[in-house]
Amino acid sequence: MDLEKKLSFDREHIWHPYTSLLDPLPVYPVESAQGVRIRLASGQELVDGMSSWWAMIHGYNHPVLNQALATQSEKTSHVMFGGLTHEPAIDLAGILVRITPPGLDRVFFCDSGSVSVEVALKMALQYWQAKDQDSKKRFLCLMCGYHGDTFGAMSVSDPYTGIHSMYSGFLPQNIFAPAPECSFGERCAPDDLQAVEEIMAAHHQELAGFILEPVVQGAGGMRMYSPDYLARIRELCRKYQVILIADEIATGFGRTGKLFACEHAGITPDIMCLGKALTGGYLTMAATLCTYEIAETICRGDPGVFMHGPTFMANPLACSVSLASIRLLLDSGWKEKTARIQEQMQSELMPGQHIHGVRQVRVLGAIGVLEMHEQVPVGEIQKLFVSEGVWIRPFVNLIYIMPPYIMESRDLSRLTSAMLKAAKLIGS
């Protein structure tokens, strides 16, 4: 079957994310990828500004990660984790305990980011059941939050303006607080927390946990808020005996300029969700970490075990490449690289504030955002980006990039230049 026939089959039979089968957005066939470049079947190369949905922090086709997969595949590609264990899982858990905020020393491996959120919610629910507080079955969440596409994850994502609003009638009814208004770098004013504390005071007896994305709300709007707000939320959760769940799936492994976004506030959550960049973007895998107190309480209650067990839990290939990716990250000078990326994006994107139609420009770590007043016409702007030799995927009213950390200045300038050009076109 030639390429045109394959693309025709794709259009008629394959459902791409957030795309209609009746009137699909165009797709661009990829032949290969290397470093920060995606090579299309046409031979054109695109500078990747998305890290393939924020995961390919080391770029594509990295020899260290390739070797980790090849070496492990010669031993075993998969073995069930029930009743068995293996070195890649043990070593990976060890390094995760070492690098995450202190106190998160129990590790549960998952299949994907959404599943890690499901696991976190189940941990919180089972914790309170073990303490004979069965009334604590709801979660406090933030407006503009996004935690994944599975049902539990959808139930704690923004039910009104989020992408899952059509499912709201089928989901557990959780409680939502206003999204934080205090920007990154600002102090948190009392008014910023008044609504949250009022909710906790009124509902703490039914709240199992408070789940949030620390410092950066991702798919809910790429909103960046004050670390002081996060620190104050940590205090309120202790005061009202509510488990704090930090969803670091998008923010973990250096994306915000800290290894984990919780470090901006100097806090340790009770439960933390990791994913995306965990494997360097090579395979789907995630992890949910919790404190000893959470794990001990669950295991002392009925039925004495945590009730979850994915088929591909702790897959040896995924564990091996995750371990290699984290070691590569820690030895890569990632902090200097993300600081350089942040500085360059601030310099090159801030003039976008003066473009008609741009509502706000935001930069933090290796995240750069142009928020538009109007919704971005994705298909049209995607064609513009491809013609400019870059890969950027707009979302709703956002033109944003999360480049691989290995990106050089010249390639980053191509991305920021294309973003400004798109904003001017939309605003004209």
Q: Which residues are catalytic?
A: 18, 146, 247, 276
**What is the rounded distance in angstroms from the CA atom of residue 198 to the CA atom of residue 136?**
17
- Residue (of 342, 338, 336, 389) closest to 36 by Cα position: 389
Task: Tell me the two tokens of residue 189.
Answer: 């004013």
- Residue (of 213, 77, 91) closest to 145 by Cα position: 213
Of the CA atoms within 13 Å of residue 251, those in its CB half-sphere come to: 29
Phi, psi angles (nearest 5°) of residue 41? -60, -25
The dihedral over CA atoms of 10, 13, 15, 19, expressed in degrees to the nearest 10, equals 80
Q: Are 350 and 361 in contact (CB under 8 A)?
A: yes
**What is the rounded distance in angstroms from the CA atom of residue 299 to the CA atom of residue 148?**
27
Q: Are 207 and 249 in contact (CB under 8 A)?
A: no
Phi, psi angles (nearest 5°) of residue 259? -60, -40
Question: Strand order of the sheet with strand 243-247?
Answer: 104-110, 286-291, 271-274, 243-247, 207-212, 138-142, 175-177
**What is the rounded distance in angstroms from the CA atom of residue 31 to the CA atom of residue 271?**
40
Q: Which residues contact 270 (CB under 8 A, 6 or more apart)?
A: 209, 237, 243, 244, 245, 290, 291, 293, 294
**What is the rounded distance in angstroms from the CA atom of residue 67 to the CA atom of residue 320?**
10
